[in-house]
Amino acid sequence: MNKKWKGARPIAIFFPVFCGFFKKFIHISTRYTSNPDRARVYISGRYTGERTPVTIPYMPIGMYIVKLVGDEESRTYEVVVTPGEEKRIHAVFSE
């Protein structure tokens, strides 16, 4: 191996691993509201234990299926969490 490039190989392997490791620590808050209040919040098919209005402060970057369930109706949304932008979802249920 050429001495000039001797140290380049470990750095070339380390950099993508390093970036991938920290990507999972990027989180964005999401805000869920509804009219009327008290809709149950499901994220990716799992009940969060929360009801609207609620802010979930640490959502990792990615795409989620969010379902807000009122007394007699529900609303489903595709939410794409991206860096630097708080997401806000508001559902209106008929009374």
Whether 33 is in a domain gets the answer yes
Q: What is the pTM of this model?
A: 0.71
Q: What is the pLDDT of residue 6?
A: 52
Domain that holds residue 49: 27-92
Q: Is residue 65 part of a domain?
A: yes
Structure confidence by residue, pLDDT tens digits, 35-60 = 999 999 999 999 999 999 999 988 88
- 76-84: list long-range contacts, CB under 8 Å, 24+ apart: 79/30, 81/28, 81/30, 82/28, 83/26, 83/28, 84/28
Here the CATH number for the domain that contains residue 83 is 2.60.40.10
pLDDT at 27: 74
Q: Is residue 7 classed as helix, strand or coil in its secondary structure?
A: coil
For the chain, give the mean pLDDT.
Answer: 81
Number of domains in the chain: 1
% of residues, the chain, pLDDT over 90: 54
For the stretch 59-76, pLDDT in tens is 888 899 999 999 999 999
Is the pLDDT at 14 greater than 50, yes or no?
Answer: no
